[in-house]
Structure 1
Amino acid sequence: MRISPRALRGRPPVVLLAVLAAVLTFPSIPAGARAGAGVPAALPGVPGPAGGGSVTSLPLTGGRLLTGRTARRFELLGVGWDGPARALAGGTVKVRTRDAVTGVWSGWHELETEGEDGPDAGADTAATPAAGAATTAAATASAGAGHPPRSATAPLWTGPSDGVAVEVTPGPAGPPPGLRVELVDPGEGVRSAGARTVPAEPSVTEPSAAEPSTAGPADGGRRTGHHQAPRPEIVTRAGWGADESIREPDFVYTGPVRAVFVHHTATATEYACSDAPRVIRAIYEYHVRSNGWRDIGYNFLVDRCGTVYEGRAGGTDLPVHGAHTLGFNTDSAGVAAIGTFVTDAPPADLLTGVARIAAWKLGLTDQDAAGSTRMVSGSDGSLYPAGTGADFRAVSGHRDAFNTECPGDSLYPKLPELRTEAARLQGR
């Protein structure tokens, strides 16, 4: 994920598609509000359990939305539309927000219009059942013609906010249909009976009682080799309060994980680690409800205190197919460092957490964390045309596969240290 922290530079005069200025205090959203009706609308979907988050969609239609209203505060936002991801290529999206506590408006920020995190073509539209598993009706329906593609900018973490302004300038293709600003409230987290953590263990040979094996790939994804690093403690989805009702019910698996791609979430860097689950819930809501993905894109996330969190559902020890590195989601795992590490230095504890989860995940397939592997691109949108082979380090940065600054100019140079430490943990 990338959100540029730089101040917006001036651009040549262009046709302004939409300007939205949200009013600060409003009545509740009418239950029947619809996009395009001149009032805000909640995104379609079944409401989650108590404590779950929400996404409120304010349509940018008719050239100008005079009074967007929301009954909810929000902590993350983005701009979405109907159609392919490149529909806004060459255009710009600028946003500013009002702090719900101080009432102060931020400066303008430019959102990334061509998302670099994401699934390869078709990978997140329907569940691929594991060996012996049946495809559910919900999974089959998700691939049907009644579900046109949705796309969105990279999201921006704003913190508690109650006002927003948006300026959208279309690219050469013109404005895409269904243009909207989407405001994410991460909620307080859904309480569930599931285990809140998977405990650290010196080795993994069988699935633990806290993490039962569901139907998975034929080899189970657990080829414990001679260089298996100890598993770090992992905060489960129940631990960070995931609303499981919003994701696809089935899981998609890939081949054995041979590479870990390191990302940063481009959210606040200075945060209390107790707030990390809130950030994860907001990203999850946006990936599913705004982008239309089956689940959060990352396989794991790590906060500034080094705590490792389970990302995409399906089993931390299984090769779950993610949506993190366009073109190279197959046979890989995505690990996101929570924060923005363009100029801010990544904390030592965060680096330790990334090294630990990379060492363990790669060790499950006996992949040398200090080694290299050859992978085949699944998308022309990556640095390599679809079908082209490319060599990657087993622990690589997002920018190695896609034209992006992610994981940031301060984190990326730390990757050699991460490889060395991960290999040490593997006993190499």
Structure 2
Amino acid sequence: MSGQPLTRRSFLAAGAGAMAAGGLARPAAPLASALGLAPPRLSQRWLGAVPAGGRTITLPPGADLLGLEWAAPAEAGVQLRVGRRGGRWSGWVTAGACCAWLEGASASAPARLIAGPVWTGGASALQLRATHPLAGVRLHIVDVSGGVGAHRLALAREMLGSASALQAAAPTLHAGPGQPRILARAGWARGVARPRVAPAYGVVRMAFVHHTETPNGYLAAEVPAMLRAIFVFHRDVRGWNDIGYNFVIDAFGRIFEARAGGIDEPVVGAQAGGFNLESTGVAVLGAFSSRRTSVAAGRALQRLLAWKLALHGVSAQGRARVRVNPAGAVYSRFPAGAHVWLPHIAGHRDGDATDCPGDALYHQLPAIRRRTRRLAPSPTRATLVLGAAAPPAPAPGAPAQPSAGAAFSLSGRLALLDGTAIAGAPIRLQLRSVARHGEAVNERTLAEARTDAAGGWSLPLGPASSAGREVWLRALYAGAVGQPSGAGAAVSDPLRVPASLIASLEAAAPSEAASAPPAR
């Protein structure tokens, strides 16, 4: 297939280049009104059959992000390019596609072929071509600029100095050594990017690294709009519950909370089909098939992975044994239900049939693992289990007393990954509460314990009733700067227990009803 070289920079320049060619000459009133937050708008255009030779489509104002969907054939190679007013076209960009399922749907649900979204920042026309004639073609268009063009708005904001500062995410866990500054979801979602449902929680055994294939060369003020557009595409086109990634890092080294549910929690994303229940996902905003990440983005990625993996007791180097979830196995390189060994810091392509995170970023991963290991504290494993409490020994000669109901206890152990016990460490037993579909999460400390010489601890509970709601608990060790072991903060895997078991602990714990859960 002939054509210009695939350059994401030229793609972005053609889509948003109207700014440099007099774009600010448009009436000031629409621009001024759009400088406030424009609610995202999703529209579709039915294209039907498209010949292999291609087709040109005029786009509506504010076509900030584009996504192509088609019915067949699955093996078709598709390329896109965009143009601005005046007739200048970008280079061709490959629109890779994979089948897409509604999040949580069964493995037998029908699939759709949807190409990854392409950010334009505002383009006036689109050309597409393919290796085969396409059937059932539909174009998805996301407008996050009120019809003005997101790149144009970002330039105006930067020139006017009106770009507001993003707030830092402040989880209940002030995670001690190594936690990087993370910008809160609320800073980019701005109340218009709400998840469908409350988040699900799994475990973190590894991390996947992605690229978004967003064109490089974007502005810092453009990033919040880019995240809102990706969110709309993931939720309303792909059918996911929220933006797929757990975290996003931009070219300027800023780390963003992406999917709602808590940055220090094992939130289940939609970022690595077949592996979401056991992983966290970090996307670097940009395209890295032929160019490396910026130095700032690479350093931010290392800091984030050093903190997040150590928090969940995972080392930066090594491999984890994970199971391919049948519900997402269509994306995977491995069969449904298989147990496979993957790197603790893996590229998306290690688990799924994709080129993500691009050749250049994928080849950076060995160095990223080494540097992350040097940054991380000694990973600490915290456990939490529920078991039957041992009955008290009767006094000598006294008859055994009948039990009014089986009593339970919560127990765990804190140790370095090599098994070295951490004695005398404070452990907090915390209850998770979730509000606003995960946009507000709180961990309330119900009780505290201290580890013994073997690193163990235990808290007695009363009997549980056979019915009623269940709640999620975790054990937290907040870490200690200067501790000889070098151990950092650690959280256990979440544990679901009957609410009746912890009723006495809830009653005795300090009330937090007067304050709302902190935004995450």
Higher relative contact order (CA 8 A, sep 6+): 1
Is residue 229–residue 363 contact of structure 1 (8 Å, CA) maintained in 2?
A: no
3-state SS, counterpart of residue 198 of structure 1: coil
Shift of 1:195: 8.0
Candidates 125, 131, 138, aligned match of 1:180? 138
Structure 2 residue aligned with 1:231: 179
Shift of 1:276: 1.9
Q: 1:51 to 1:159 in 2, by over 3 A?
A: closer
Shift of 1:248: 0.5
Candidates 152, 169, 172, aligned match of 1:198? 169
3-state SS, counterpart of residue 139 of structure 2: strand
Structure 1 residue aligned with 2:28: none
The whole-number CA distance in structure 1 between the counterparts of 2:55 and 2:368 is 50
Shift of 1:344: 1.4
Candidates 386, 391, 400, aligned match of 2:341? 391
More strand by share: 2
Structure 2 residue aligned with 1:377: 324
Matched, 1:278 2:225: yes
3-state SS, counterpart of residue 97 of structure 1: strand
Shift of 1:50: 5.3
The whole-number CA distance in structure 2 between the counterparts of 1:367 and 1:67 is 49
- CA deviation vs aligned residue, 1:300-339 (integer Å, no higher than 9, x gap): 0001121100111111111111111122112101100111
3-state SS, counterpart of residue 161 of structure 1: strand
Structure 1 vs Structure 2: percent identity of aligned residues?
Answer: 32
Candidates 131, 156, 180, aligned match of 2:118? 156
Q: Give the residue type in structure 1 aligned to 2:114.
A: A
The whole-number CA distance in structure 2 between the counterparts of 1:186 and 1:377 is 36
Structure 1 residue aligned with 2:46: 59
1:315-394 map, 5 Å? 315-378=262-325, 379-394=329-344
The whole-number CA distance in structure 1 between the counterparts of 2:332 and 2:187 is 33
Candidates 360, 363, 366, aligned match of 1:416? 366
The whole-number CA distance in structure 2 between the counterparts of 1:97 and 1:347 is 25
**What do you get for the CA RMSD once the two structures are aligned?**
3.4
Shift of 1:158: 2.3
Q: Give the residue type in structure 2 aligned to 1:158.
A: T
Q: Give the residue type in structure 2 aligned to 1:402.
A: D
Range with greater deviation from structure 2 (378-387 or 389-398): 378-387
The whole-number CA distance in structure 2 between the counterparts of 1:195 and 1:337 is 18
Q: 1:382 to 1:150 in 2, by over 3 A?
A: closer
The whole-number CA distance in structure 1 between the counterparts of 2:211 and 2:240 is 19
The whole-number CA distance in structure 2 between the counterparts of 1:245 and 1:7 is 31
The whole-number CA distance in structure 2 between the counterparts of 1:399 and 1:242 is 32
Is residue 56–residue 184 contact of structure 1 (8 Å, CA) maintained in 2?
A: yes
Shift of 1:392: 1.3
Is residue 102–residue 238 contact of structure 2 (8 Å, CA) maintained in 1?
A: no
User: What is the total number of aligned residue pairs between the two structures?
Assistant: 325
The whole-number CA distance in structure 2 between the counterparts of 1:81 and 1:316 is 35
The whole-number CA distance in structure 2 between the counterparts of 1:395 and 1:235 is 22
The whole-number CA distance in structure 1 between the counterparts of 2:116 and 2:61 is 21
3-state SS, counterpart of residue 60 of structure 1: strand
3-state SS, counterpart of residue 114 of structure 1: strand
Matched, 1:95 2:42: no
The whole-number CA distance in structure 1 between the counterparts of 2:324 and 2:370 is 26
Is residue 229–residue 425 contact of structure 1 (8 Å, CA) maintained in 2?
A: no
Unaligned runs of 5+ residues in structure 2 are 8-35, 151-164, 379-520
The whole-number CA distance in structure 1 between the counterparts of 2:62 and 2:377 is 48
Structure 2 residue aligned with 1:249: 197
Shift of 1:246: 4.8
Q: Give the residue type in structure 2 aligned to 1:185.
A: D
More helix by share: 2
3-state SS, counterpart of residue 349 of structure 1: helix
Range with greater deviation from structure 2 (260-269 or 103-112): 103-112
- CA deviation vs aligned residue, 1:197-238 (integer Å, no higher than 9, x gap): 225xxxx8x436xxxxxxxxxxxxxxx8xxx75211111111
Unaligned runs of 5+ residues in structure 1 are 9-48, 127-146, 209-223
The whole-number CA distance in structure 2 between the counterparts of 1:384 and 1:148 is 20
Which has the larger Rg? Answer: 2
Matched, 1:405 2:376: no
Is residue 55–residue 128 contact of structure 2 (8 Å, CA) maintained in 1?
A: no
The whole-number CA distance in structure 2 between the counterparts of 1:181 and 1:167 is 13
Range with greater deviation from structure 2 (267-276 or 67-76): 67-76
- TM-score normalised according to structure 1 size: 0.67
Q: 1:417 to 1:7 in 2, by over 3 A?
A: closer
Q: Give the residue type in structure 1 aligned to 2:65.
A: L
Q: 1:69 to 1:107 in 2, by over 3 A?
A: closer
- CA deviation vs aligned residue, 1:103-122 (integer Å, no higher than 9, x gap): 4122443311225xx7xx66
1:256-267 map, 5 Å? 256-267=203-214
The whole-number CA distance in structure 1 between the counterparts of 2:362 and 2:291 is 12
Structure 2 residue aligned with 1:165: 127
3-state SS, counterpart of residue 187 of structure 2: coil
Q: 1:358 to 1:318 in 2, by over 3 A?
A: same
